[in-house]
Each structure stands twice: as structure tokens, then as C-alpha cells.
Structure 1
Amino acid sequence: MLALLLALPAHASATRTVLVMGDSLSAAYNLAPEQGWVALLARKLAAERPGWRVVNASVSGETTAGGASRIGTELARHSPAVVVIELGANDGLRGLPLEQTRANLERMIRAAGEAGAKVLLIGMRLPPNYGPQYTRGFERNYVELAEAHGAALLPFLLEPIALDRDAFQPDNLHPVAEAQPRLLEHVWPALEPLLDTDSRTSP
């Protein structure tokens, strides 16, 4: 029996999952699902990282409260090795209390860590009209949470396209299909190391 088990291909019983918990920026808002950066990530992993798959649990309009309420179910359902958390933009656009956003994100990071998953925290930035105190505090939440919990951090998802008006749909909030590969290129260097190591986040 042992000989038979050893003879099995390594990937036969070792499929690992990247779980993406995001909002409309990760849910391919107003695009075909296969055009979004998360779907492009799934194709990249299928081609370059056999044994990995992507589950996109992103929901358009999601707040950190929604993500925090759902993550336990998603972790139990998919048993991910890596959790990508891309939430907070809707909190910020609604001017929700920074402490509330931070607590929800921390709850998600802790839950992922306790489930044995590594975490990539993807941050956002807000327009300056929200005021310097709020916008700086909003950005600082991501940095401090990543440092406190040993999570990988990508400070700003939209950084490579933020100043390119043609990269956005008419609402000036959601990227067009042509911009999605640039988002994946931006995310990949932060995500790839999590696929190569056995380190875990600290709960």
C-alpha cells in the first residue's frame, strides 16, 4: 500500500487553493467573469503552477463586515492554503469608522491564520476629498495589520493604472477589461512567494 501511495503523482492528492475574498474590483464588475484579474490568475496558475487552483469568493459591493461574516464559511468549504483579502474600498467610500474596518480585516486575517493559510492583504487608497486624516489612517490600517500578523502586503491594488483614465469604466472606479492583465502583473510578485514557502501567518 505504501509503495502505491508513493507512486502516485504529487499533485494527485495535493491540490492547493488560493481563496480570493474581495469586492467588485476582484469580482470583474461589469465584465465577463473570465476577463477579471482573478480569472487571469487562475489561468496563470493552471499553466505555470500545476496543483494550484483559485476560488473567487469576491462579491461586488462587499464591505469588510461582509467579508468578516463570510470568511469562516469560505475557509471551511475550500480549506485554502493562501487567502487573498482585497476589501475595504467600500468601507472607505462610505466613510465608515476606521476602527471598524480595521477590526473586520483583523478578524479575517486571524481566521485565515488559524485555518493554516497564508494571507496576502491587498490595500486601497481613497481620493483626497475624504481628508488627510481619514485617508492616511485608511492606508495605515493595511500596513499595520500586515506587520502585526505577518501577512504579505500589496499596498494599493490599482497603483499601475490609477492615473490612466482610459483604464477605467465610465464610473471612474472599476477597471476595464484591457487593464486586468496589468492588475495581475501587479499582484503576482506579492502572491508568488506565498506559493513557494511553507510559512504561515500568525493568528
Structure 2
Amino acid sequence: MSDLRSPTRRVVLAAASLAGAAAFAGPVGAEDRPLRLVAFGDSLTAGYALPPGRGFAPRLEAALRKDGLHVDVIDAGVSGDTTDMGLARLEWSVPADADAVIVELGANDCLRGLPPAEARRNLDAIVARLRGRGQQVLVAGMLAPRNLGAAYVAAFDPIFAEVAAAHGASHYPFFLEGVAMNPDYTLPDGLHPSARGVEVIVERILPAVRDLLARARAARP
């Protein structure tokens, strides 16, 4: 006689139960699928020199899920990338089916003293292409080092807000707000966020990301 304690019997019953539940629930709709958010940037989003799981993307995902949001955050950060390099890899770095993208590029442009006009053209092309796909975008701003001079700062700092406004994207003024130049939150190089610094970045940018995801959810077919 068959027995509920039999492994074979348990497997058959479990399979039947799952099949029945799936039939009752029906097909998974777009509103049930997790939102896909891409962190498209440089070493600041790639978690440079940090242990696995301590970079921006995984910590942002953890914070969003703690808030009850059904979202996957994809790390598309590449250390050393300039805006030009980001534009060159955009098509294969950011999936076309992603719902939203945080664009965090530009720090390496100013650290290398590259012309602000080039950064503007590249960021404009990146955001235009993403918005053309129908993806929601949050442009994370960067501030030029003040030792580059007033003219460079005046040309560089406004790029991010102006590009965002031109394409109906969101804008977060300064990605490193509360972290830059603070030894408590940066690595010994003084440039990259430590694990504690990443937590500060995530906490501060979280409201803007929540708004971004709300728009992405509303835009789903």
C-alpha cells in the first residue's frame, strides 16, 4: 500500500499541488515580474576594491527589497570608464528589456581633464538612446574637482541636470553626496567609497530611485 511517508508519493503529491496552484494562479502578468534596474556607470557603481556584495548595486537592491519593492538591480559598472567608453558599450551593457537605468558616468572624464563638451555629447547620446527605448532614466550628477579651475567647473557641473531635462529624465545632483572628501566613508585613495560610504550613497539616493521605479512600473504595458 502506498504511504504518504514514501519519497515517491511525496514527490507526486508535491508536483500535483504545484501544478494545481499554477493553474489557479494563471499566467504571470507584467505587474508580477520584478522590475529590472541597471546601474550603468564606472568604478563608483562597480564596487571598486570592495568585498563581493558590498558594492552599490547589491546594496541598493537590498535596500529596495527591504522596502518591499520587487526589483532586481543589475551591476553594469566598469572601473575606469569615461562617458565615451560607456557610450561605446551601451548596447551590450544595458539590456533592452530593462525597465530603468541609473546613469553614473563622468567622474573619469573630469579626473583626466577631458573637455566637458565631449562628456556632454556622450551623456546626451546615452540618455537619448535609453529614452528612445522607452526606459526610465536617472542621471546621477558629478562635480568637477575645483583645482581644475572655475571655467572647467562652470562647463562641467551643469551637464547632468541639463542632459536629464532635455530628455525627460530624472536627475540626482551629486552621486557622492555626503561621501566625497570624507575619510570616514572613502577608501585610502580618497576617491572611492568604502563599504560604509556605499551605505551612505544608497540611503541618500533611495528616494530618487523609488520615484524612478514608480514611473517605470506605471510605464509598463
The 1-side partners of 2:120 and 2:104 are apart by: 13
Q: Secondary structure at the match of 1:34?
A: coil
Residue of 169, 172, 178 corresponding to 2:187 = 169
The alignment covers a number of residue pairs equal to 197
Contact 2:141 2:174 (8 Å CA) reproduced? yes
| 1:40 counterpart residue number | 59
Q: Secondary structure at the match of 1:71?
A: helix
The 2-side partners of 1:11 and 1:79 are apart by: 12
Alpha-carbon distance, 1:64 to partner: 0.5
| 2:112 counterpart residue number | 94
- Percent identity of equivalent pairs: 35
Residue of 88, 96, 113 corresponding to 1:69 = 88
Q: Write the deviation string for residues 141-177 of structure 1: whole angstroms up to 9, x where unpaired.
A: 1121111111111111111123422211111101111
Contact 2:101 2:138 (8 Å CA) reproduced? yes
The 1-side partners of 2:154 and 2:71 are apart by: 36
Alpha-carbon distance, 1:10 to partner: 4.6
| Backbone CA RMSD of aligned residues | 2.2
The 2-side partners of 1:145 and 1:49 are apart by: 31
CA change 1:5–1:101 in 2 (3 A) is: farther
2:170 corresponds to 1:152:
yes
AA aligned opposite 1:94: R
AA aligned opposite 1:195: L
Residues 111-122 of structure 1: pairs in structure 2 closer than 5 A: 111-122=129-140
Q: Write the deviation string for residues 16-64 of structure 1: whole angstroms up to 9, x where unpaired.
A: 2101111111111110131112211112233334532111110010110
Contact 2:110 2:145 (8 Å CA) reproduced? no
TM-score relative to the length of structure 1: 0.88
Q: Secondary structure at the match of 1:165?
A: coil
AA aligned opposite 2:179: I
The 2-side partners of 1:12 and 1:101 are apart by: 36
Residue of 158, 174, 190 corresponding to 2:208 = 190
Q: Secondary structure at the match of 2:38?
A: strand
| 2:141 counterpart residue number | 123
2:105 corresponds to 1:84:
no
Contact 1:154 1:187 (8 Å CA) reproduced? yes
2:74 corresponds to 1:55:
yes
TM-score relative to the length of structure 2: 0.81
The 1-side partners of 2:162 and 2:209 are apart by: 19
